[in-house]
Chain A
């Protein structure tokens, strides 16, 4: 085990990702403190989603190293890091549209049972999970919709369902990719409240455009621009940082 700084759940160093000749992310060092809500912000094309994909292994870094709880996960598969407890959401709501709302959550709960390869066993064996399914659906306010197919939910509710599914894995680290994008104000508030609620015993790293959400939730903010880290700090530090202001609204000498 690595002895240093166990306070950080993620320690990424020198992360670089090149796409066909340009560096989407270059030499990013990102530390995420345990049990914090950490937001990644920055103008379009800053490399936020790429960073995200690198940490969840949906992309392989061109160079750099990622430690999760002190373990090197740089060369692991996305499914493997998910099993380690790093679970991500997607920009476009990631649900299983033709499964029921309850089944959506259950599929996430099912893996720890260790029966997922048992094609000879009845799915009734999964009923032991019902109680937990109901708890999770209650947490996001979807109890009444449990037996509906997920496709029929309004968009905001789909995001809530996705959230419940992610939560079902009891992730130690949740990565949320623009959890409030495309939502109306009411839904934004609901999701923001949920994020706060579930952050109690876990770490959350999120990409978010809605700065009022970021200011309300984030303990730590990393600002990316042009694939590099521009600034890091809490909201008041960031919002007064001259470089950040320039990145967002342009420099003085343009």
Chain B
């Protein structure tokens, strides 16, 4: 057989075919995400879970007699599934829009993303509880079994069918949107929903149907994927972040961009598998980074220059709850007593995550940037610290510093790439960039893949203090936490912090006062990455391990959840949130995989009912009480002209 640039053609075509098939799924999925984003301005993170629902739907239909024995139900095969499942998943989508998503349209975009992250965790978590990591087998339907001989390779008929059917679905969808009356409603409503309503069209119902349709597409992709990939609870999770990257590359909201980029990136991924296998998992994210540098709006996206930071802060700067000078000693005292109340290891976990969440809150709460990739800084630092301590024999303090340095460098780089975009874009970009680090750690040899770097020695602090003594270790961690807390407080209440605050509250105005706001945001982002690295490096020394969990996007989501539960943009919120979440994880640990479900539900409930978080709600209560008292004081003394004087 002849060879092509040293590659056997069978291998080349085989990988290209696999790439094309992946590309078809990417295209179908990102099409749905793009449609939903265009109309609803929602970054539909639950899209992966909905795709997984589609695959399971097909599997359920096939196993109806086993699932409901005695009812005499028939086993419904692939072709039934192809019709029934997308409709069913679409209906679930319509209900989801009605019950959940509709409630966040008028809120900051961040909440839409958080809500769908929570929903994804709940759905995937539930399936994980039931089915675990093991995949279910779904056989290729009889009619599509067999292979065709293309001369240069044998192609399974089912795969051919997927390619043809997938592309047809994409083209038909594109046609409906771009060329039909129905599509004209959609396009018009994307441009100017108010005017479309004034023309008598029920836009809220259109939003629901659009969402249902996008979700139905995911369901259809799921059915088509069932015979190719394993039907498993994790199948959606592993694809959704890639889909987000594809949508960013194509240009957010561009229908054609989503289809084209999906197919192309699938092919490029396939080619990478041939020529540089190690790079195949990250190539899409790397391409995304490159595209962002040269075309920030994506390949087919239109440039939008909306200045809009997500102001989700819940603090009042003059409140005692924000007074770090008061709380630093209080936290020191509580911290000093803590190891006598709970296990030191548990207490250290709380401290590490409290620092991590506080670092995250610095960009999310105080600058208003919805970052979604802080696991990269936390985890990268953990790996570098672990490697320095375990392999290079660094003392613990230097190991942690090495980790911090790495996190800072990565933070500056990611920040530079992402800072020009805001809101949802910023979230999707930071998420995708963090995936590069994650996949790197899976593949590099020094990170030891699934095992991670284990048995990291705690060593002697400054060559003297034995950190294998639990209390020594604990107080070292407490010192780091307090130092980090103090630094964050200082940053917030510095001249720099004042400018950050002004950027969050009104960026165009800050610019008009002469501040180059991007530079301030970049520095804040880098500082946040540095502090996240401090938390990660410390965590590696404490727990003597750096693992993929540290880099997983769920770790980023946890930082977000902690900030949200405690109160976004408050000084103490992330700490409270970390305590709640870490405790919750411990309490539910016996429930195993239920933890994810509980966390996801916490996300959803927070977004719907506790947007201010614990500390933010307390703050609101206190300030209302204060206002009431002031009003009473004025009422008692009618000669006082103004209520303002009473404060």
Q: Do chains A and B touch in the complex (CB under 8 A)?
A: yes
Q: Is A96 a contact of B523 with CB atoms below 8 Å?
A: no
Q: Is A98 a contact of B511 with CB atoms below 8 Å?
A: no
Stretch at the interface among A1-9, A41-49, A118-126: A118-126
Q: A83-B514, A111-B514, A149-B316 are contacts. A118–B509 as well, Cβ < 8 Å?
A: no
Answer yes or no: A108 CB below 8 A from chain B CBs. yes
Q: Is B512 a contact of A87 with CB atoms below 8 Å?
A: yes
Q: A111-B514, A117-B523, A148-B644 are contacts. A94–B508 as well, Cβ < 8 Å?
A: yes
Query: Interface of chain B, helix or strand or loop or mixed?
Result: helix
Smallest CB separation, B541 vs chain A (Å): 26
Answer yes or no: B515 CB below 8 A from chain A CBs. yes
Q: Is B502 a contact of A79 with CB atoms below 8 Å?
A: no
Q: A96-B505, A106-B498, A123-B498 are contacts. A169–B513 as well, Cβ < 8 Å?
A: yes
Q: A113-B495, A119-B491, A121-B495 are contacts. A107–B513 as well, Cβ < 8 Å?
A: yes
Q: Is B490 a contact of A120 with CB atoms below 8 Å?
A: yes
Answer yes or no: B494 CB below 8 A from chain A CBs. yes
Q: Is A77 a contact of B516 with CB atoms below 8 Å?
A: yes
Q: A79-B515, A82-B514, A117-B523 are contacts. A90–B498 as well, Cβ < 8 Å?
A: no
Which residues of B in the span 503-537 have a Cβ within 8 Å of any Cβ on A?
505-506, 508-517, 519-520, 523, 527
Q: Is B499 a contact of A110 with CB atoms below 8 Å?
A: yes
Smallest CB separation, A56 vs chain B (Å): 7
Residues on A with C-beta less than 8 A from B459 are none
Closest to B505 in A: A96
Which residues of A in the span 31-77 have a Cβ within 8 Å of any Cβ on B?
56, 58, 77
Residues on A with C-beta less than 8 A from B517 are 79
Residues on A with C-beta less than 8 A from B642 are 144
Residues on B with C-beta less than 8 A from A79 are 511, 514-517
Closest to A82 in B: B514
Which residues of B in the span 132-158 have a Cβ within 8 Å of any Cβ on A?
none
Residues on A with C-beta less than 8 A from B645 are 144
Q: Is A121 a contact of B494 with CB atoms below 8 Å?
A: yes
Return the contact of A99 from the options B501, B513, B527, B647 (Cβ within 8 A): B501
Answer yes or no: A97 CB below 8 A from chain B CBs. yes
Answer yes or no: B496 CB below 8 A from chain A CBs. yes
Closest to B488 in A: A119
Answer yes or no: A227 CB below 8 A from chain B CBs. no
Q: Is A90 a contact of B508 with CB atoms below 8 Å?
A: yes
**A148 to B494 CA separation, bound complex (whole angstroms):** 20
Answer yes or no: B116 CB below 8 A from chain A CBs. no
**A113 to B514 CA separation, bound complex (whole angstroms):** 13
**A60 to B509 CA separation, bound complex (whole angstroms):** 18
Q: A99-B317, A122-B490, A145-B644 are contacts. A94–B496 as well, Cβ < 8 Å?
A: no
Return the contact of A107 from the options B313, B498, B647 (Cβ within 8 A): B498
Answer yes or no: A208 CB below 8 A from chain B CBs. no
Q: How many A-B residue pairs have CB under 8 A?
A: 115
Answer yes or no: B587 CB below 8 A from chain A CBs. no
Q: Is A100 a contact of B495 with CB atoms below 8 Å?
A: no
**A118 to B513 CA separation, bound complex (whole angstroms):** 18
Answer yes or no: A179 CB below 8 A from chain B CBs. no
Residues on B with C-beta less than 8 A from A117 are 495-496, 519-520, 523
Q: Is B523 a contact of A107 with CB atoms below 8 Å?
A: no
Q: Is A126 a contact of B513 with CB atoms below 8 Å?
A: no
Which residues of A in the span 135-193 have a Cβ within 8 Å of any Cβ on B?
144-145, 147-149, 165, 169
Residues on B with C-beta less than 8 A from A99 are 317, 498, 501-502, 505
Contact code string A80-119 (vs B, CB < 8 Å = 1, else 0): 1011000111100011111110010011101101011111
Residues on B with C-beta less than 8 A from A89 are 512
**A116 to B644 CA separation, bound complex (whole angstroms):** 31
Answer yes or no: B296 CB below 8 A from chain A CBs. no
Residues on B with C-beta less than 8 A from A106 are 498
Return the contact of A119 from the options B317, B496, B515, B519 (Cβ within 8 A): B496
Residues on B with C-beta less than 8 A from A77 are 516
**A90 to B511 CA separation, bound complex (whole angstroms):** 12
Answer yes or no: B41 CB below 8 A from chain A CBs. no
Q: A79-B511, A82-B512, A100-B318 are contacts. A123–B497 as well, Cβ < 8 Å?
A: yes
Residues on B with C-beta less than 8 A from A83 are 514
Answer yes or no: B493 CB below 8 A from chain A CBs. yes
Pick the most buried of B510, B523, B527: most chain A CB atoms within 10 A of its CB: B510
Q: Is B501 a contact of A119 with CB atoms below 8 Å?
A: no
Residues on B with C-beta less than 8 A from A123 are 493-495, 497-498
Residues on B with C-beta less than 8 A from A148 are 644, 647
Closest to A81 in B: B514
Contact code string B13-56 (vs A, CB < 8 Å = 1, else 0): 00000000000000000000000000000000000000000000
Q: A82-B514, A90-B508, A96-B502 are contacts. A119–B494 as well, Cβ < 8 Å?
A: yes
Residues on B with C-beta less than 8 A from A94 are 506, 508-509, 512
Q: Taking beta carbons and an 8 Å cutoff, which residues of A are in contact with B? A: 56, 58, 77-80, 82-83, 87-90, 94-100, 103, 106-108, 110-111, 113, 115-123, 125-126, 144-145, 147-149, 165, 169
4 closest A-B pairs by CB = A82-B514, A119-B496, A94-B509, A96-B505
Given known contacts A120-B494, A123-B494, A145-B644, what 4 new A-B pairs fall within 8 Å (CB)?
Answer: A79-B517, A106-B498, A111-B513, A120-B491
